Structure 1
Amino acid sequence: MSKNDIFHQLRKHQKTLQDYGVRRCGLFGSFVRGEATQKSDIDLLVEFDPSLKTFMNFMNLCFFLEELFERKVDVLTPESLQRFSNE
């Protein structure tokens, strides 16, 4: 799997992602650096529509993505990254 394969799947399932409240989504980590292996997880930064930002949507999105890509997917939000920058 390549980063282009990931982008293709995200575009293909754009409607489903929007149903979970995803406004924007970005890839980072080993796939972007070209260092991914068969065991690498997928790292995504996801911005949610504030009106659809719920714990249930977050968890269902995580489950959907892991089933779609058949591997672990780490989903971070801008808010979760802010916590690290404040430490």
Structure 2
Amino acid sequence: MLTKDEILDYLKEIKPKLQEDGIIKLGLFGSFAKDSADIASDVDITIETSKDFVNKFKGFNGFIYLDDLRSDFMHKFKRQVDICDTASMSLQKQQNLLTGVIYV
């Protein structure tokens, strides 16, 4: 079964490329971060995009980039993956949603 450490290792591996694209935070939250995942659990990944990301991937291209990233994660982890971009979230929403997040 997929483990938290495998996910975190992969996130660390791809972080430099994502930073080049304007993703300034990358982390794992949800059941895998809390060590409560089971065979049916999805993988919850949080990112924070910067103004550089918005400038590089204008308009719909940003959505395409994130959808491609999600597909890459799903292929790698062989599970459903949710990506949460916190760039436009209030601090209160971030605190409620991202309890126990592990940033890489």
Find the aligned partners of 1:38 and 1:81 in 2 and give their Cα distance: 30
Find the aligned partners of 1:14 and 1:39 in 2 and give their Cα distance: 26
> TM-score scaled by structure 1?
0.77
- In structure 1, runs of 5+ residues without a counterpart are none
Q: Which has the higher helix share?
A: 1
Bigger Cα displacement from structure 2, 14-23 vs 30-39? 14-23
> TM-score scaled by structure 2?
0.66
The root-mean-square deviation of aligned C-alpha atoms, in Å, is 2.2
- In structure 2, runs of 5+ residues without a counterpart are 55-61, 94-104
Partner of 1:23: 24
Partner of 1:51: 52
What's the offset of the Cα at 1:15?
A: 4.1
- Percent identity, aligned pairs only, is 29
Q: What SS does the aligned partner of 1:35 have?
A: coil
What's the offset of the Cα at 1:20?
A: 4.8
Find the aligned partners of 1:76 and 1:34 in 2 and give their Cα distance: 19
